[in-house]
Amino acid sequence: MTYIQFDFQNPIIFKETQMIKFQQQLKNIHHKLCVQKQQKNPCLDWMNIHQTEDNFKIQELAKKIRNRFQFLVVIGIGGSYAGAKAAIEMLQGTMNHGTKILFVGQNMSSSYIHQILEQLHDKDFAIHMISKSGSTLEPALAFRIFRTFLEKKYGENGAQERIFVTTNPNDGNLLKLSQKKKYTIFALPENICGRFSVLTSVGLLPMAVAGIDIEYVQKGATTAYKELFSQIFNFNNPVYQYVLYRNLLYQSGKKIELFVNYDPDMLAFGKWWSQLFAESEGKNHKGIFPSTVIFSTDLHTIGQYIQEGERHLFETVLWFENTLSNITIEADFENLDGLNDLAGQTLQNINKKAFLGTLQAHVEGGVPNFILTIPKKDAFSFGYLVYFFELAVTLSSYLNKVDPFNQPGVEAYKDYMYSLLNQCPIG
């Protein structure tokens, strides 16, 4: 039995031949991955990063930052920030009582940066600048703004004590600048692309500063690795089931996958998930379009469409059996709101009924549903889920004959933006 439980409720009948074909292809892909892993193919370096050697350095630094600074400004875009934000929101919501993590460099909104600068003007803070290429415009601009702010306030030496950088160890403007200014540098391995990097310093340093137990995160990832990626091919493995059926759905015309959570603290995780699947699979005019929703909130925004709109979507629901707190509905002697029938029930139980009721309605309405059940929302589960989805998207991309580890399409907007800015890309 695996830590994650998989269930599939499907109103669609698949063609037997297609099913057998995919099963055989998945078996072959599994075999190739095993061989490539044994041969230490660098493309699969992400599979080993739950054993990172930087751990001790990260934890020591995180302790120092926590003791000294009220804020850590994390600068990065895409895979260079989405995982850390996902972990912090999933595990702490708005309840972070230690060093607060602020994220910048994911946009070029003047008013957003202005608000963060206002928030920090009389505070002491550190910066974690993350860019693998060292040349992405959004974080590079934010870094210039916040680095200059620190240099003006504390001088070059004071800024140096407050700035930490994760980048590739070989080249780029960020590396050169950081070496010149003698910032502490974490090397991001060449073969790990941003969206697969959350279990390196990219995600682990912000998480540790926020007070998350990163050992436990890695324990979750290691458990997922052991449970889900064994030498022996096994179709009961939940990752293989998920990959097989979501691709059968895709072949039968279901082009949109909604990742569903029942807790607003999971929104950033949903965004991380969307990026992972969109950038890995969406190539050569192929790929399931990933989107993320929070129920029951979004049942009152796009629920109508899901129930009765075009039948081109399926849902993947992530359900946590236990919550951090158990709020119980109290009886009210006047019962003016008519809710006394629910007195004595926990909110978690009521939320679960919403989940089960929605599941039934959507499946009956023609929307296939995957249900991934996890015992509780903690650091271990975060690490486990990261590994689960990274493995799933790798297998699924290979099944669709696309390379999961590049993102050539992201360059198109940059070329036009730079030609409008009338300059060459920095770096």
**Chain residues that interact with ligand PA5, rule: CB under 6 A:** 77-80, 131-133, 136, 139, 193-195, 279, 407, 410
Q: Is the Cβ of residue 132 or residue 246 nearer to ligand PA5 in the bound state?
A: 132
| Cβ-defined contacts of 142-148 (< 8 Å, 24+) | 142/75, 142/104, 142/105, 142/113, 143/75, 143/105, 143/174, 145/113, 145/117, 146/73, 146/75, 146/104
By C-beta, is 165 or 193 nearer to ligand PA5?
193
Q: How far is the CB of 379 from ligand PA5 (least distance, A)?
A: 23
Provide, rounded to whole angstroms, the least separation between the CB of residue 380 and ligand PA5: 24
Among candidate residues 278, 286, 273, 257, the one with its CA nearest the CA of residue 390 = 273
* Least distance (Å) between residue 221 CB and ligand PA5: 18
Q: Which residues on adjacent β-strands are paired with residue 72?
A: 101, 126
Give the span between the Cα atoms of 294 and 40, in whole angstroms: 39
Q: Using an 8 Å Cβ cutoff, are 212 and 87 in contact?
A: yes
Q: Residue 103 is encoded by which pair of tokens?
A: 């994220």
Specify the pairing of strand 369-376 against strand 5-9.
antiparallel
Which residue, 30 or 195, is less far from ligand PA5 as judged by CB?
A: 195
Helices 16-38, 379-399: axis angle to 10 degrees equals 110
Between 131 and 358, CB nearer to ligand PA5? 131
Distance CA(62)–CA(71), nearest Å, equals 12
258 φ/ψ angles, rounded to the nearest 5 degrees: -100, 120
Closest by alpha carbon to 75, among 172, 177, 147, 151?
A: 147
For residue 82, the minimal CB distance to ligand PA5 (Å) is 8
Nearer to ligand PA5, 83 or 238 (CB): 83
Q: Return the DSSP state at 230.
A: -
Cα four-point dihedral sign 204, 320, 375, 30: negative
| CB 301, min distance to ligand PA5, A | 27
Angstrom distance (rounded) from CA 259 to CA 241: 17
The 8-class DSSP code of residue 213 comes to -
Taking the complex as a whole, the smallest distance from the CB of residue 278 to ligand PA5 amounts, in Å, to 10
Q: How many CB atoms lie under 10 A from the CB of residue 47?
A: 21
**Residue 302 contacts residue 362 (beta carbons within 8 Å):** no
Active site positions, annotated: 279, 300, 414
Nearest approach, Cβ of residue 187 and ligand PA5 (Å):
13
Q: Which residue has tokens 């240099």?
A: 151
* Cβ proximity to ligand PA5, 78 vs 368, nearer residue: 78
Cβ distance to ligand PA5 smaller for residue 181 or 271 = 271
Give residue number: closest CB to ligand PA5: 194
